[in-house]
Structure 1
Protein backbone atom coordinates (compact mmCIF):
# COMPACT_ATOMS: atom_id res chain seq x y z
CA UNK A 1 0.00 0.00 0.00
CA UNK A 2 1.30 3.47 -0.90
CA UNK A 3 -0.11 6.80 0.23
CA UNK A 4 0.02 9.48 -2.44
CA UNK A 5 -0.63 13.22 -2.39
CA UNK A 6 -1.92 15.81 -4.84
CA UNK A 7 -2.28 19.58 -4.86
CA UNK A 8 -5.59 21.17 -5.78
CA UNK A 9 -7.55 24.39 -5.32
CA UNK A 10 -9.86 24.48 -2.31
CA UNK A 11 -12.50 27.10 -1.46
CA UNK A 12 -13.50 27.83 2.13
CA UNK A 13 -15.64 30.46 3.84
CA UNK A 14 -15.16 32.81 6.78
CA UNK A 15 -17.53 35.17 8.58
CA UNK A 16 -17.27 38.88 9.37
CA UNK A 17 -19.33 41.10 11.63
CA UNK A 18 -19.85 44.85 11.13
CA UNK A 19 -17.96 46.96 8.56
CA UNK A 20 -14.59 48.62 8.29
CA UNK A 21 -15.15 52.38 8.37
CA UNK A 22 -13.23 55.47 9.46
CA UNK A 23 -14.67 54.88 12.94
CA UNK A 24 -13.27 51.36 13.28
CA UNK A 25 -10.83 51.12 16.19
CA UNK A 26 -10.49 47.39 16.86
CA UNK A 27 -10.06 44.60 14.32
CA UNK A 28 -10.55 41.14 15.81
CA UNK A 29 -9.37 37.85 14.32
CA UNK A 30 -11.14 35.13 16.30
CA UNK A 31 -10.48 31.42 15.71
CA UNK A 32 -13.23 29.16 17.03
CA UNK A 33 -12.88 25.87 18.86
CA UNK A 34 -13.68 22.36 17.69
CA UNK A 35 -17.35 21.79 16.97
CA UNK A 36 -18.15 25.36 15.98
CA UNK A 37 -19.02 27.02 12.72
CA UNK A 38 -17.74 30.57 12.33
CA UNK A 39 -21.20 31.96 11.59
CA UNK A 40 -22.35 30.87 15.06
CA UNK A 41 -19.09 31.56 16.89
CA UNK A 42 -19.08 35.18 15.78
CA UNK A 43 -22.32 35.80 17.68
CA UNK A 44 -20.26 36.00 20.88
CA UNK A 45 -19.07 39.39 19.63
CA UNK A 46 -22.47 40.94 18.96
CA UNK A 47 -22.44 43.03 22.12
CA UNK A 48 -19.38 44.99 20.99
CA UNK A 49 -19.80 48.51 19.68
CA UNK A 50 -20.68 47.95 16.02
CA UNK A 51 -19.00 51.14 14.82
CA UNK A 52 -15.69 50.61 16.58
CA UNK A 53 -15.24 46.84 16.29
CA UNK A 54 -14.81 44.73 13.16
CA UNK A 55 -14.68 40.98 13.72
CA UNK A 56 -13.23 38.32 11.42
CA UNK A 57 -13.97 34.66 12.21
CA UNK A 58 -12.11 32.14 10.04
CA UNK A 59 -13.79 28.81 9.38
CA UNK A 60 -12.14 25.46 10.17
CA UNK A 61 -12.26 23.44 6.93
CA UNK A 62 -13.15 19.96 8.19
CA UNK A 63 -16.92 19.71 8.72
CA UNK A 64 -18.71 16.81 10.36
CA UNK A 65 -22.11 15.87 11.77
CA UNK A 66 -22.19 16.09 15.56
CA UNK A 67 -25.24 13.95 16.25
CA UNK A 68 -26.76 10.69 15.05
CA UNK A 69 -29.68 12.55 13.46
CA UNK A 70 -27.23 14.36 11.14
CA UNK A 71 -28.73 17.68 12.18
CA UNK A 72 -25.94 19.63 13.87
CA UNK A 73 -22.74 20.40 12.00
CA UNK A 74 -19.41 21.26 13.56
CA UNK A 75 -15.88 21.72 12.30
CA UNK A 76 -12.32 20.86 13.29
CA UNK A 77 -9.06 22.63 12.46
CA UNK A 78 -6.57 19.84 12.75
CA UNK A 79 -5.88 16.28 13.89
CA UNK A 80 -2.70 14.23 14.32
CA UNK A 81 -3.21 12.70 10.87
CA UNK A 82 -0.78 14.11 8.28
CA UNK A 83 -0.33 17.09 10.55
CA UNK A 84 2.52 18.90 8.79
CA UNK A 85 0.70 18.99 5.45
CA UNK A 86 -2.56 19.98 7.13
CA UNK A 87 -0.85 22.83 8.96
CA UNK A 88 0.46 24.20 5.68
CA UNK A 89 -3.03 23.93 4.18
CA UNK A 90 -4.44 25.92 7.08
CA UNK A 91 -1.73 28.56 6.84
CA UNK A 92 -2.44 28.99 3.13
CA UNK A 93 -6.13 29.48 3.86
CA UNK A 94 -5.52 31.92 6.71
CA UNK A 95 -2.97 33.82 4.61
CA UNK A 96 -5.48 34.26 1.79
CA UNK A 97 -8.19 35.37 4.20
CA UNK A 98 -5.87 37.82 5.96
CA UNK A 99 -4.59 39.30 2.72
CA UNK A 100 -8.14 40.00 1.58
CA UNK A 101 -9.10 41.59 4.89
CA UNK A 102 -6.00 43.77 5.06
CA UNK A 103 -7.04 45.30 1.74
CA UNK A 104 -10.20 46.57 3.46
CA UNK A 105 -8.22 48.10 6.31
CA UNK A 106 -5.53 49.67 4.15
CA UNK A 107 -3.38 52.23 5.98
CA UNK A 108 -6.01 52.98 8.60
CA UNK A 109 -4.70 52.94 12.17
CA UNK A 110 -6.51 50.23 14.13
CA UNK A 111 -5.75 47.92 17.03
CA UNK A 112 -5.43 44.26 16.09
CA UNK A 113 -6.83 41.77 18.60
CA UNK A 114 -6.06 38.09 17.91
CA UNK A 115 -8.08 35.51 19.80
CA UNK A 116 -8.00 31.73 19.79
CA UNK A 117 -10.60 29.74 21.67
CA UNK A 118 -10.02 26.08 22.65
CA UNK A 119 -8.60 24.32 19.56
CA UNK A 120 -8.27 27.75 17.95
CA UNK A 121 -5.42 28.56 20.37
CA UNK A 122 -3.09 26.02 18.79
CA UNK A 123 -3.91 27.12 15.24
CA UNK A 124 -3.59 30.83 16.01
CA UNK A 125 -0.23 30.55 17.78
CA UNK A 126 1.20 28.31 15.05
CA UNK A 127 0.03 30.68 12.32
CA UNK A 128 1.46 33.70 14.14
CA UNK A 129 4.78 31.95 14.74
CA UNK A 130 5.17 30.76 11.14
CA UNK A 131 4.14 34.08 9.57
CA UNK A 132 5.52 36.49 12.22
CA UNK A 133 2.13 38.17 12.60
CA UNK A 134 1.97 41.02 15.08
CA UNK A 135 -1.02 42.19 17.08
CA UNK A 136 -1.76 44.62 19.89
CA UNK A 137 -3.58 42.10 22.06
CA UNK A 138 -3.37 38.30 22.05
CA UNK A 139 -6.08 36.36 23.86
CA UNK A 140 -5.48 32.64 24.39
CA UNK A 141 -8.81 31.36 25.66
CA UNK A 142 -9.22 27.88 27.19
CA UNK A 143 -6.85 26.11 24.81
CA UNK A 144 -3.40 24.54 24.62
CA UNK A 145 -0.24 26.15 23.27
CA UNK A 146 1.56 23.63 20.99
CA UNK A 147 4.66 22.06 22.51
CA UNK A 148 6.81 22.66 19.43
CA UNK A 149 6.60 26.45 19.78
CA UNK A 150 9.52 28.22 21.45
CA UNK A 151 10.25 31.74 22.66
CA UNK A 152 12.30 32.45 19.52
CA UNK A 153 9.13 32.03 17.45
CA UNK A 154 7.69 35.16 19.09
CA UNK A 155 10.77 37.37 19.36
CA UNK A 156 9.27 39.62 16.70
CA UNK A 157 6.29 40.59 18.88
CA UNK A 158 6.51 44.15 20.24
CA UNK A 159 6.94 44.46 23.99
CA UNK A 160 3.73 46.49 23.99
CA UNK A 161 1.70 43.43 22.94
CA UNK A 162 -0.52 42.22 25.77
CA UNK A 163 -0.94 38.45 26.07
CA UNK A 164 -3.71 36.95 28.20
CA UNK A 165 -4.32 33.29 28.96
CA UNK A 166 -7.98 32.96 30.02
CA UNK A 167 -9.83 29.91 31.34
CA UNK A 168 -12.71 28.90 33.59
CA UNK A 169 -12.14 27.56 37.10
CA UNK A 170 -14.45 24.62 36.33
CA UNK A 171 -13.17 23.87 32.83
CA UNK A 172 -13.50 20.10 32.42
CA UNK A 173 -10.63 20.00 29.92
CA UNK A 174 -8.08 21.87 32.01
CA UNK A 175 -6.66 19.85 34.92
CA UNK A 176 -4.39 21.29 37.61
CA UNK A 177 -1.41 19.79 35.78
CA UNK A 178 -2.52 21.34 32.50
CA UNK A 179 -2.99 24.74 34.16
CA UNK A 180 0.58 24.65 35.43
CA UNK A 181 1.91 23.37 32.12
CA UNK A 182 0.19 26.08 30.10
CA UNK A 183 1.19 28.87 32.46
CA UNK A 184 4.83 27.74 32.33
CA UNK A 185 4.64 27.40 28.55
CA UNK A 186 3.02 30.81 28.18
CA UNK A 187 5.61 32.44 30.44
CA UNK A 188 8.44 30.80 28.48
CA UNK A 189 7.03 32.13 25.20
CA UNK A 190 5.83 35.59 26.19
CA UNK A 191 7.68 36.44 29.40
CA UNK A 192 6.35 39.36 31.42
CA UNK A 193 3.79 40.18 28.73
CA UNK A 194 1.70 37.18 29.84
CA UNK A 195 -1.09 37.61 32.35
CA UNK A 196 -3.41 34.81 33.45
CA UNK A 197 -7.10 35.44 34.05
CA UNK A 198 -9.51 32.94 35.61
CA UNK A 199 -13.28 33.28 35.49
CA UNK A 200 -16.04 31.34 37.23
CA UNK A 201 -17.33 28.87 34.67
CA UNK A 202 -16.73 25.82 32.53
CA UNK A 203 -15.30 25.31 29.04
CA UNK A 204 -17.18 28.17 27.43
CA UNK A 205 -16.54 31.47 25.72
CA UNK A 206 -16.37 34.16 28.39
CA UNK A 207 -18.22 37.04 26.74
CA UNK A 208 -17.77 39.54 29.61
CA UNK A 209 -14.00 39.42 29.15
CA UNK A 210 -14.33 39.97 25.40
CA UNK A 211 -16.45 43.03 26.10
CA UNK A 212 -13.96 44.21 28.71
CA UNK A 213 -11.04 44.04 26.29
CA UNK A 214 -12.92 46.15 23.76
CA UNK A 215 -13.71 48.79 26.37
CA UNK A 216 -10.17 48.95 27.76
CA UNK A 217 -8.60 49.37 24.33
CA UNK A 218 -10.85 52.24 23.27
Structure 2
Protein backbone atom coordinates (compact mmCIF):
# COMPACT_ATOMS: atom_id res chain seq x y z
CA UNK A 1 0.00 0.00 0.00
CA UNK A 2 1.49 3.33 -1.11
CA UNK A 3 1.30 6.23 1.36
CA UNK A 4 2.60 9.79 1.48
CA UNK A 5 3.63 11.90 4.44
CA UNK A 6 4.17 15.65 4.90
CA UNK A 7 7.31 16.79 6.71
CA UNK A 8 9.53 19.85 6.96
CA UNK A 9 12.45 19.95 4.57
CA UNK A 10 15.40 22.36 4.67
CA UNK A 11 17.25 23.21 1.44
CA UNK A 12 19.82 25.74 0.25
CA UNK A 13 19.95 28.21 -2.62
CA UNK A 14 22.68 30.55 -3.81
CA UNK A 15 22.60 34.26 -4.55
CA UNK A 16 25.20 36.38 -6.36
CA UNK A 17 25.03 39.11 -3.71
CA UNK A 18 22.56 40.76 -1.33
CA UNK A 19 19.68 42.75 -2.74
CA UNK A 20 20.29 46.46 -2.29
CA UNK A 21 18.72 49.79 -3.19
CA UNK A 22 20.48 49.49 -6.58
CA UNK A 23 18.82 46.19 -7.48
CA UNK A 24 16.30 46.39 -10.31
CA UNK A 25 16.54 42.87 -11.78
CA UNK A 26 16.46 39.36 -10.32
CA UNK A 27 17.19 36.22 -12.32
CA UNK A 28 16.10 32.83 -10.98
CA UNK A 29 18.38 30.34 -12.78
CA UNK A 30 17.67 26.59 -12.72
CA UNK A 31 20.54 24.25 -13.55
CA UNK A 32 20.63 21.11 -15.68
CA UNK A 33 20.88 17.43 -14.79
CA UNK A 34 23.93 16.48 -12.75
CA UNK A 35 24.86 20.07 -11.85
CA UNK A 36 25.01 21.88 -8.51
CA UNK A 37 23.78 25.45 -7.91
CA UNK A 38 26.94 26.72 -6.22
CA UNK A 39 28.92 26.01 -9.39
CA UNK A 40 26.13 26.78 -11.88
CA UNK A 41 25.77 30.34 -10.56
CA UNK A 42 29.39 31.05 -11.54
CA UNK A 43 28.41 30.81 -15.21
CA UNK A 44 26.48 34.08 -14.79
CA UNK A 45 29.37 36.01 -13.25
CA UNK A 46 29.83 38.16 -16.36
CA UNK A 47 26.23 39.43 -16.30
CA UNK A 48 25.86 39.64 -12.52
CA UNK A 49 25.89 43.18 -11.08
CA UNK A 50 24.53 45.04 -8.06
CA UNK A 51 21.57 45.92 -10.29
CA UNK A 52 21.10 42.37 -11.60
CA UNK A 53 21.04 39.70 -8.88
CA UNK A 54 21.34 36.02 -9.80
CA UNK A 55 19.53 33.44 -7.64
CA UNK A 56 20.34 29.75 -8.12
CA UNK A 57 18.15 27.13 -6.42
CA UNK A 58 19.23 23.50 -6.65
CA UNK A 59 17.66 20.15 -7.43
CA UNK A 60 16.56 18.43 -4.24
CA UNK A 61 17.95 15.00 -5.16
CA UNK A 62 21.75 14.65 -5.06
CA UNK A 63 23.87 11.70 -6.16
CA UNK A 64 27.44 10.68 -6.97
CA UNK A 65 28.13 11.27 -10.66
CA UNK A 66 30.43 8.24 -10.89
CA UNK A 67 30.00 5.24 -8.62
CA UNK A 68 29.88 5.69 -4.85
CA UNK A 69 32.21 8.63 -4.24
CA UNK A 70 33.77 11.69 -5.84
CA UNK A 71 31.89 14.46 -7.63
CA UNK A 72 28.26 15.08 -6.70
CA UNK A 73 25.46 16.29 -8.94
CA UNK A 74 21.74 16.82 -8.52
CA UNK A 75 18.51 16.37 -10.44
CA UNK A 76 15.13 18.05 -10.30
CA UNK A 77 13.23 14.81 -10.84
CA UNK A 78 13.26 11.32 -12.32
CA UNK A 79 10.49 9.14 -13.73
CA UNK A 80 10.06 7.55 -10.27
CA UNK A 81 7.34 9.42 -8.32
CA UNK A 82 7.66 12.22 -10.89
CA UNK A 83 4.45 14.02 -9.91
CA UNK A 84 5.49 14.06 -6.25
CA UNK A 85 8.93 15.38 -7.23
CA UNK A 86 7.31 18.12 -9.32
CA UNK A 87 5.05 19.12 -6.44
CA UNK A 88 8.01 19.19 -4.04
CA UNK A 89 10.30 21.26 -6.23
CA UNK A 90 7.54 23.75 -7.06
CA UNK A 91 6.90 24.23 -3.33
CA UNK A 92 10.66 24.65 -2.80
CA UNK A 93 11.02 27.17 -5.65
CA UNK A 94 8.05 29.14 -4.34
CA UNK A 95 9.72 29.28 -0.92
CA UNK A 96 12.99 30.48 -2.46
CA UNK A 97 11.14 33.21 -4.37
CA UNK A 98 9.19 34.23 -1.27
CA UNK A 99 12.44 34.57 0.68
CA UNK A 100 14.22 36.53 -2.06
CA UNK A 101 11.28 38.79 -2.90
CA UNK A 102 10.52 39.59 0.73
CA UNK A 103 12.62 42.72 0.12
CA UNK A 104 9.40 44.15 -1.34
CA UNK A 105 11.22 45.93 -4.16
CA UNK A 106 9.75 46.55 -7.59
CA UNK A 107 12.14 44.48 -9.73
CA UNK A 108 12.10 42.89 -13.18
CA UNK A 109 12.11 39.11 -12.83
CA UNK A 110 13.62 36.67 -15.31
CA UNK A 111 13.00 32.93 -15.10
CA UNK A 112 15.83 30.91 -16.65
CA UNK A 113 16.20 27.18 -17.20
CA UNK A 114 19.18 25.31 -18.62
CA UNK A 115 18.76 21.80 -20.09
CA UNK A 116 16.66 19.81 -17.57
CA UNK A 117 16.04 23.09 -15.77
CA UNK A 118 14.06 24.31 -18.81
CA UNK A 119 11.23 21.84 -18.22
CA UNK A 120 11.45 22.58 -14.51
CA UNK A 121 11.14 26.33 -14.94
CA UNK A 122 8.18 25.89 -17.32
CA UNK A 123 6.28 23.80 -14.78
CA UNK A 124 7.04 26.41 -12.14
CA UNK A 125 6.06 29.35 -14.38
CA UNK A 126 2.71 27.75 -15.18
CA UNK A 127 1.75 27.85 -11.48
CA UNK A 128 3.37 31.14 -10.41
CA UNK A 129 1.39 33.64 -8.39
CA UNK A 130 3.86 36.53 -8.81
CA UNK A 131 4.67 38.58 -11.89
CA UNK A 132 7.68 37.97 -14.08
CA UNK A 133 8.83 39.63 -17.30
CA UNK A 134 10.94 37.12 -19.17
CA UNK A 135 11.34 33.36 -19.66
CA UNK A 136 14.57 31.94 -21.10
CA UNK A 137 14.98 28.28 -22.04
CA UNK A 138 18.66 27.56 -22.73
CA UNK A 139 19.63 24.25 -24.36
CA UNK A 140 16.35 22.81 -23.18
CA UNK A 141 12.71 22.54 -24.12
CA UNK A 142 9.08 23.04 -23.19
CA UNK A 143 7.87 19.79 -21.56
CA UNK A 144 5.22 17.96 -23.63
CA UNK A 145 3.08 17.23 -20.55
CA UNK A 146 2.64 20.86 -19.44
CA UNK A 147 -0.78 22.48 -19.06
CA UNK A 148 -0.55 24.39 -22.36
CA UNK A 149 -3.48 26.69 -21.69
CA UNK A 150 -2.13 27.56 -18.23
CA UNK A 151 1.44 28.21 -19.37
CA UNK A 152 0.26 29.93 -22.54
CA UNK A 153 -1.80 32.38 -20.49
CA UNK A 154 1.16 33.08 -18.20
CA UNK A 155 3.40 33.85 -21.19
CA UNK A 156 0.99 35.98 -23.26
CA UNK A 157 2.59 39.31 -22.36
CA UNK A 158 6.10 38.05 -21.59
CA UNK A 159 9.40 37.94 -23.47
CA UNK A 160 10.15 34.29 -24.26
CA UNK A 161 13.48 33.07 -25.62
CA UNK A 162 14.91 29.70 -26.63
CA UNK A 163 18.68 29.42 -26.97
CA UNK A 164 20.52 26.46 -28.49
CA UNK A 165 24.02 25.75 -29.72
CA UNK A 166 24.56 24.66 -33.31
CA UNK A 167 26.75 21.83 -32.00
CA UNK A 168 24.56 20.75 -29.09
CA UNK A 169 24.72 16.96 -28.97
CA UNK A 170 21.28 16.73 -27.34
CA UNK A 171 19.39 18.70 -30.00
CA UNK A 172 18.66 17.49 -33.54
CA UNK A 173 16.23 18.43 -36.31
CA UNK A 174 13.57 16.06 -34.99
CA UNK A 175 13.65 17.67 -31.56
CA UNK A 176 13.53 21.14 -33.11
CA UNK A 177 10.39 20.13 -35.01
CA UNK A 178 8.81 18.72 -31.85
CA UNK A 179 9.50 21.98 -30.03
CA UNK A 180 8.05 24.05 -32.83
CA UNK A 181 4.83 22.04 -32.59
CA UNK A 182 4.68 22.69 -28.84
CA UNK A 183 5.32 26.41 -29.35
CA UNK A 184 2.40 26.55 -31.80
CA UNK A 185 0.26 24.74 -29.25
CA UNK A 186 1.20 27.32 -26.60
CA UNK A 187 0.27 30.09 -29.04
CA UNK A 188 2.94 32.51 -27.77
CA UNK A 189 5.74 34.42 -29.45
CA UNK A 190 9.10 32.71 -28.87
CA UNK A 191 12.33 34.25 -30.12
CA UNK A 192 14.71 31.41 -31.02
CA UNK A 193 18.44 32.11 -30.95
CA UNK A 194 21.05 29.69 -32.29
CA UNK A 195 24.66 30.33 -31.34
CA UNK A 196 27.97 28.73 -32.25
CA UNK A 197 28.66 26.29 -29.45
CA UNK A 198 27.78 23.13 -27.57
CA UNK A 199 25.62 22.25 -24.57
CA UNK A 200 26.73 25.05 -22.26
CA UNK A 201 25.77 28.57 -21.18
CA UNK A 202 26.42 31.12 -23.92
CA UNK A 203 27.00 34.43 -22.18
CA UNK A 204 27.12 36.53 -25.36
CA UNK A 205 23.55 35.44 -26.21
CA UNK A 206 22.43 36.40 -22.70
CA UNK A 207 24.01 39.83 -23.12
CA UNK A 208 22.05 40.33 -26.34
CA UNK A 209 18.82 39.42 -24.56
CA UNK A 210 19.59 41.86 -21.73
CA UNK A 211 20.09 44.64 -24.25
CA UNK A 212 16.61 44.15 -25.76
TM over 0.5: yes
Aligned partner of residue 46 in structure 1, secondary structure: helix
Range with bigger deviation, 47-56 or 154-163: 154-163
Aligned partner of residue 157 in structure 1, secondary structure: helix
Normalized against structure 1, the TM-score is what? 0.90
Aligned partner of residue 3 in structure 1, secondary structure: coil
| Residue number among 189, 199, 214 corresponding to 2:195 in the alignment | 199
Whether the 8 Å contact between 2:41 and 2:54 is mirrored in structure 1 is yes
Whether the 8 Å contact between 2:14 and 2:55 is mirrored in structure 1 is yes
C-alpha distance in structure 2 between counterparts of 1:49 and 1:15, whole Å: 13
Normalized against structure 2, the TM-score is what? 0.92
1:211–1:18 CA distance, 2 compared to 1 (3 A): farther
Is residue 15 of structure 1 aligned with residue 11 of structure 2?
Answer: no
| Alpha-carbon displacement from aligned partner over 1:26-45 (angstroms, at most 9, x marks no partner) | 11000000111100000011
In structure 2, the partner of 1:4 is 3
Structure 2 residues not aligned, in runs of 5+: none
Aligned partner of residue 114 in structure 1, secondary structure: strand
In structure 2, the partner of 1:48 is 47
C-alpha distance in structure 2 between counterparts of 1:91 and 1:27, whole Å: 18
In structure 2, the partner of 1:127 is 124
1:79–1:47 CA distance, 2 compared to 1 (3 A): same
In structure 2, the partner of 1:183 is 180
Q: How far does residue 5 in structure 1 lie from its aligned partner after superposition?
A: 2.7
Q: How far does residue 183 in structure 1 lie from its aligned partner after superposition?
A: 2.2
Q: How far does residue 167 in structure 1 lie from its aligned partner after superposition?
A: 0.6
| Alpha-carbon displacement from aligned partner over 1:54-84 (angstroms, at most 9, x marks no partner) | 0111110100111247211100001111111
C-alpha distance in structure 2 between counterparts of 1:196 and 1:188, whole Å: 16
1:96–1:10 CA distance, 2 compared to 1 (3 A): same
Structure 1 residues not aligned, in runs of 5+: none
| Residue number among 178, 200, 213 corresponding to 2:209 in the alignment | 213
Aligned partner of residue 43 in structure 2, secondary structure: helix
Q: How many residues align?
A: 212
Q: How far does residue 144 in structure 1 lie from its aligned partner after superposition?
A: 2.4
Whether the 8 Å contact between 1:18 and 1:53 is mirrored in structure 2 is no
